[in-house]
Structure 1
Amino acid sequence: MTRHTIRRIVFQILFALESNSETNIAELYTQIQSEDKTNVDAEMPVYLTKLVEGVSAKKEELDQVITAHLSSKWSISRLNKTDLLILRIAIYEAKFEDGVPEKVAVNEALQLSKEFSDEKSRRFINGVLSNLITEKNDTQ
């Protein structure tokens, strides 16, 4: 299973968890796999579990980072759930996952936005993540 497929499934699982924190991740994973008709018998990848647990555990910290990089006319409560989850995944990977370059995290976020959102959201996500990376590189 590719990392992109893992990220897509992570997004779907996190979306479900936002609606119902009691969601059974293993059952949802199996359901998503059967709908996608990909590796139905395969065990849940370790990286998938790591992303779901990591993004969930660091949600408040990730939201603080996002808030700090929004323009003054935006607040985190105004973001649609899709954009917010995509940003959380990208920032988590860029900040906490060794071996995931920032550019890869940004590109993957843009791919997810193509699949689950629209062009306006993709530009917005790109802007927020670009601001984050530019600021980080300026301080190094």
Structure 2
Amino acid sequence: MKNLVNFKVAVKTRECLVQAIYQMLFNNDSVAKVIDQFKDEHKTKKVDFKMFSMSLRSINRNKKKIESILTSLEIKNSSMELIDKSILFFAINEMLFGNLDKPVAIDESLRLSKKFSSPESYKFINVSLDKFFKTLS
């Protein structure tokens, strides 16, 4: 794994972001509620809440577009783990509306998948994001 020491805050922020996306999708919680909860629960951790809030709001604003992209990639929602869907939401949002370079967004999504999802899940994430990346070129 790459040395991420210099990017501790960004890495922790993205980890919290994927957890927040999961919570929003699972509980159908409002963005404001999730942001407030994460600020309260993670205030002692090194998290960039400005980046976190902007990304979460962007995902919420573009939820239908991201869902339609997943559908167009022929990814079946019924068979997809919710954590994988959360990671794909993060990655697609970053690739379309965020500040990360597309290859970095893919790489970060694979790292998140290896941390939060099943052992083989990163392959599914990689194939899905590769398909999406090719549609952008």
TM over 0.5: yes
Q: Aligned equivalents of 1:38 and 1:121: distance in 2?
A: 27
1:53 maps to what in 2? 57
- State the partner residue of 1:128: 128
d(CA) in 1 for partners of 2:96 and 2:124?
Answer: 20
Provide the C-alpha distance between the structure 1 equivalents of 2:95 and 2:52, rounded to a whole number of angstroms: 15
RMSD of aligned C-alpha atoms?
Answer: 2.0
Instruction: Report the equivalent of 2:13.
Output: 6
Query: Where in structure 2 are there 5+ consecutive unaligned residues?
Result: 1-7
CA separation in 1, counterparts of 2:37 and 2:132?
Answer: 35
Q: Percent identity?
A: 21
Q: Is the 8 A contact 2:39 2:49 kept in 1?
A: no
**Residue in structure 1 matched with residue 25 of structure 2 by the alignment:** 18
**Shift in Å at residue 16 of structure 1?**
1.6
8 Å CA contact 2:84, 2:117 repeated in 1: yes
Match of 1:90 in 2: 91
> Matched residues in 2 for 1:132 and 1:22: separation?
27
Larger deviation, residues 6-15 vs 21-30:
21-30
Q: Report the TM-score, using the length of structure 1 for normalisation.
A: 0.80
- Matched with 1:68 is 72
Q: Deviations over 1:57-82 (max 9, x none)?
A: 21111011112123xxx512321111
Quote the Cα distance in structure 1 between the aligned partners of 2:26 and 2:70.
21
> Structure 1 residues 130, 30: CA separation in 2 closer, same or farther (over 3 Å shift)?
same
Question: Rg larger in 1 or in 2?
Answer: 1
Q: 1:134: Cα distance to partner?
A: 1.9
Q: TM-score, normalised by structure 2?
A: 0.81
Paired positions, count: 127
